[in-house]
Amino acid sequence: MRLSVVMSLCLLASCATETRHFRGVDPLRLTVDGSTFDIRLRGNLAEAIRINPQYAPRLGPLQARAGFAMAQVSGCQVTGVLGDQAVLTGVLQCRDATLIAMRTDYGCGDVVQWLEARRGGGFAAYACSPLH
């Protein structure tokens, strides 16, 4: 019984833990269209860990939301997003090496527009506002 309690606590503690490459980087929290992410940046990579429960989320919409969140936090263009429904990693293409300072908590909602990316893909357009 004690072992199962300890194992359960260990699993819960690791749910929103950063991956090895992003260890030690403080996250910025961003909510995009009902999905809440902890975003971490290091070099030309960004990591989005979804921290809210969602029933059977599809990867396609989550990739668009995570890519948008990474772009908002970094101020860079996101050229690709890979991962699963919990942890997504994005490749950043930045014109300026400095990161834009942002508030730590934003709420974003889908405004039902599609932006065309250069390579034929696209990210949904969102409107964001600071949470108080």
Q: Quick one: pLDDT at residue 96?
A: 67
What is the sign of the dihedral through the CA atoms of 122, 127, 128 and 131? Answer: negative
The pLDDT tens digits of the residues spanning 81-109 come to 999 999 999 999 988 655 544 445 667 76
R_g of the chain computed on alpha carbons: 16
Q: How many CA atoms lie within 13 A of 88 on its CB side?
A: 30
Which residue, 2, 45, 1, is CA-closest to 20? 45
The pLDDT tens digits of the residues spanning 36-45 come to 999 999 999 9
Confidence of residue 67 (pLDDT cuts 50, 70, 90): very high
Which residue, 14, 68, 73, 8, is CA-closest to 39? 73
As a whole number of angstroms, the distance between CA 88 and CA 81 comes to 7
Q: What angle do CA 113, 125, 56 make, to 5 degrees?
A: 95
